[in-house]
Structure 1
Amino acid sequence: HTPQELDKSKTIDALYLKPLQAAIIKNGNKAYANGETLSLMIDLKTEGIKTLQTLVKKLETYPELKNCQSLRITISGNVPDPATWSEFPSYIYFDGRPSKTYTAEQLQRINLVSANFREYTRWNGKGELTTMDRKNLQEVLQKVHAWGKPMRFWATPDFTNAWIKLSKLGVDVLNTDHVESLHDFFKKWSSTTYQNKTPHTVYQPTQQWKPGSRPKNLIIMIGDGTGLAQWYSGFTANRGQLNVFNIPTIGFSVTTSSDSYITDSAAGATAISTGSKTKNRYVGVDAVGNKLPIITYDFIKRKYRTAIISNGDVTDATPGSFYAFSPERSMSEEIAEDFLESNVDILLGGGRKSFEDRRDGINLFDALSKKGYSTSTTFNAIDTIRSSRFIILDDSAVVSKKKGRGDFLSRSLNKSVAVFSQSKLPFFIMLEGAQIDWGGHNNDMEYVVTEVLDFDQAIGEALKFVDTNKETLLLITADHETGGLSLIDGDIQNGHVHGSFSTGDHTGILVPVFAYGPGAEVFRGVHQNTELNKLLRTLFRLD
């Protein structure tokens, strides 16, 4: 705004008029190819009438601009008196003021209405507006909207929280000095907001087991990528209730791997399954590739029935860490081969290709059938299968929840528990909610929340069983957090949540540990992820 700041090369022609002219020609006489309206606001700093007259002369040399129906050339700043507006071409529009009175004809020439934000409030954009400030802003917005015009304020706070609050208030045009950031924020709006319209009811645990008793059975549920923000996003979307939040015993897990501050699922899950830190990408083996003692095998040695369930690929890092040994998590076919030797009773999830459509041409289902397993690639077979040892791998059954996956986790858990309950033998189940992690990698709030809610419904089924059985320990945790999710807005009353992701990868933040059933109290506090395994070994006398 000062002569010293002027750069003679940065003219209105070079910066605005010529680029607009080229765009309009390219888009077939439209400002945007899709026909949306573009407002070109020109802020006059010198005397209004003379400056505007000079501008009009220049615009007359750009017929594409003045004839474009989707371009609104709007004059702001030193706007001439409304009584003179009729003297200017009809393609010139003006920036109105809420304090002025306009005739019907003058309102036709107004493109939007603007005001100084500081005339109504001194709010700095943090927290919430005061009741009086909100009332002042709502009154001016109502007045301008009654004119049928959009409203803009200048001198507004200019960052995320302010953008959200002003948008919710009904401000139509946001002033910003951070054009690209504001553009990105609203471009991502649909993927970072979600409203859940069908909340599920939650189970109230009754804690029926005897105090001080040891558990006989174990259910581990791993919500891949689930940190506190993911849990609270589900809590918000489910109208302020989750099954997992009804569990009174909570701790936290440190998820670092042996070679990285930020773990991946292979090292994170291996720490839980073996009690040892290892390198990222390593499944069931230590940092030099030696096999580690996977807890599943220790249970099997003690005549436990075992099941591994995932609503992802059963050869992925998390489920694979409970039965396989591999220095590379992507070796899916080799991981599938390890299952042949595992003697795990039940395997449910996706990943059929690594068993049936392999590069070596071997169909592992044939070998599994010879070992006494019933096998299927159709998930609905779970309702009719009679064997106590079975494998169902159906990729169509483990699509994302938002794309129509049914209650795969709950049905799989209930079927496994029902089968194992027919025997007096103890059992171990590892169930993974795999796709919370995928939603985090995609920075997709709907994906995250719908997967959290589905996982929580399976938790509700597990809680019911623990209360009925009274000899089962339920342990719920995560291998890591994914997405660096923070919650920047929400409404518990209507299930709306707005998130912001800081990364498309994992983070190093602690993850919660929820424990319910006999022995749950030992999981209170902050533990290394490896300590979870050691506590389980002590509780179940595996050492």
Structure 2
Amino acid sequence: MILPVALIQSHAADPVVKDSPLPSAHAHNDYVHPRPLLDALDHGFCSVEADIHLSQGQLLIGHDPEDLRPERTLEKLYLAPLAARIQSRGGHVYDKKTEFILLVDIKTEAAATYAVLARELELRKTILTRFTHTAIERGAITVILSGNRPTAIVAAQAERWCAIDGRLPDLERNPPVSLMPLISDNWGLHFKWRGRDAIPISDLELLRKRVSQTHSQGRKLRFWATGDSPKGWALLKAEKVDLIGTDNLSALRSFLLEPK
């Protein structure tokens, strides 16, 4: 189904969580967990972050060059297991109505890395969200590029299997949602609050403005470096920030499942 871009918006651990997706749960640096991707899926996470480096023609997973191992590729750790899961679950990561985001953080030079990534995504296009200049055709996995983003290259493509992770200043330019369906930014660059005491009124007003602006344009919103704690999560949840990132899968899962 092709949706107008203006309308695009938005387990094993516990029986109550098994097969129950948590749409706002984002696994920051997912690859550091004992079982990359799989631990996040077992906890119901609907967004996972994978850092990639182009090394000798391969897309290797890791935060820094010294973390890289030849067997830890984007294909082996993420694309292949996701494809297998989708095939076994009737064409979806969780279910038809739940979007699953693979946030690919490019650590090496943007153009060269994307040239290899685009070829790998093309091989998996039957399970990926398709983007054009004016529309989004939802697939089982939505790939969004962060880090060293090849924005101009991606924007010029008439058809592609990924989109770009925007930043707050991009809201003023209001690019097509099919180019930037997600806005992410560093919390500390925009807000004074660090998770202690009450949030200043000025911060709260700015946060609400950014949430409203992002949602009015049909995009999702995420912040990083917010403070990985229940107090920070509670603020983001209350103010309707779409993705809440964490390094602690079980703690965020428990928080999101707490009775309201």
Shorter chain as denominator, the TM-score bin is 0.5 to 0.7
**1:75 correspondence with 2:137:** no
The residue that corresponds to 2:155 in the other structure is 85
Displacement of 1:99 after TM fit? 0.2
Residue 146 in structure 1 maps to residue 216 in structure 2: yes
From 75, 78, 85, the equivalent of 1:16 is 78
Mapped to 2, the partners of 1:88 and 1:47 lie a distance apart of: 22
Q: Deviations over 1:341-397 (max 9, x none)?
A: xxxxxxxxxxxxxxxxxxxxxxxxxxxxxxxxxxxxxxxxxxxxxxxxxxxxxxxxx
Whether 1:44 aligns to 2:106 is yes
Report the alpha carbon displacement of residue 34 of structure 1 after superposing the two structures with TM.
4.6
Contact 2:105 2:145 (C-alpha < 8 Å) held by counterparts: yes
- What is the alpha-carbon distance in structure 1 between the residues aligned to residue 236 and residue 97 of structure 2? 26
Conserved? CA contact 1:74–1:92, under 8 Å:
yes
Larger Rg: 1
Could you say what secondary structure the match of 1:113 adopts?
strand
**1:117–1:156 CA contact under 8 A, matched in 2:** yes
Query: Which amino acid in the other structure matches residue 215 of structure 2?
Result: H
Q: What residue identity is the alignment partner of 1:112?
A: L
Q: Return the alpha-carbon distance in structure 1 between the equivalents of residues 232 and 109 of structure 2.
A: 33
The number of equivalent residue pairs is 189
Note the C-alpha offset of 1:2: 2.3
> Residues 103 and 131 (structure 1 numbering): CA distance in 2 closer, same or farther, change over 3 Å?
closer
Residue 59 of structure 1 pairs with residue 129 of structure 2: no
* Pair 1:77–1:58, CA change in 2 (3 A): same
Q: Secondary structure in 2 aligned to 1:167?
A: helix
CA displacement, residues 292-346 of structure 1 (integer Å, 9 cap, x when unaligned): xxxxxxxxxxxxxxxxxxxxxxxxxxxxxxxxxxxxxxxxxxxxxxxxxxxxxxx
Instruction: Provide the alpha-carbon RMSD of the alignment.
Output: 2.1
Q: Distance in 2 between matches of 1:83 and 1:42?
A: 16
Q: Normalized against structure 1, the TM-score is what?
A: 0.33
**Percent identical:** 28
Q: Name the structure 2 match of 1:175.
A: 245
In 2, Cα distance between equivalents of 1:84 and 1:30? 25
Q: Which amino acid aligns with 1:61?
A: L
Contact 2:121 2:161 in 1 (8 A): no
Measured after TM superposition, the shift of residue 116 of structure 1 is: 1.1
How far the C-alpha of 1:171 sits from its partner, in A, is 1.2
Whether the aligned pair in 2 keeps the contact of 1:97 and 1:114 (CA below 8 Å) is: yes
2:94, 2:102 → 1: CA distance?
A: 13
Distance of aligned partners of 1:141 and 1:51 in 2 relative to their CA distance in 1, 3 Å threshold: same
SS at match of 2:181: strand
Aligned to 1:222: none
CA pair 10-139 structure 1, distance change in 2 beyond 3 A: same
| Aligned residues of 1:95 and 1:113 also touching (Cα < 8 A) | yes
Q: CA deviation at 1:130?
A: 0.8
Query: 1:126 touches 1:162 (CA, 8 Å); kept in 2?
Result: no
In structure 2, relative to structure 1, the CA distance for the partners of 1:40 and 1:84 (3 Å cut) is closer
Residue 75 of structure 1 contacts residue 92 of structure 1 at CA under 8 Å; is this kept in 2? yes
- SS of match in other structure, 1:53: helix
Q: Deviations over 1:171-218 (max 9, x none)?
A: 1111211123212321x23xx32xxxxxxxxxxxxxxxxxxxxxxxxx
SS at match of 2:244: coil
**Conservation of the 8 A alpha-carbon contact between 2:165 and 2:184:** yes
Return the match for 1:96 from 145, 166, 189: 166
**d(CA) in 2 for partners of 1:63, 1:2:** 28
Q: Is the 8 A contact 1:35 1:70 kept in 2?
A: no
Distance 1:84 1:57, change over 3 A: closer
Distance 2:75 2:105 in 1: 15
User: Residue 245 of structure 2: SS of its match in structure 1?
Assistant: coil
Aligned-pair CA distance for 1:64: 3.5
Please name the residue that 2:93 is paired with. 31
The aligned amino acid for 2:166 is G
Shift of 1:6: 1.8
Distance 1:69 1:3 in 2: 32
Change (3 A) 1:36 1:9: same
**For the Cα contact (< 8 Å) 1:96–1:110, is it kept in 2?**
yes
1:102: how far off? 4.0
In 2, Cα distance between the equivalents of 1:103 and 1:146?
10
Unmatched segments (≥5 aa) in structure 1: 194-543
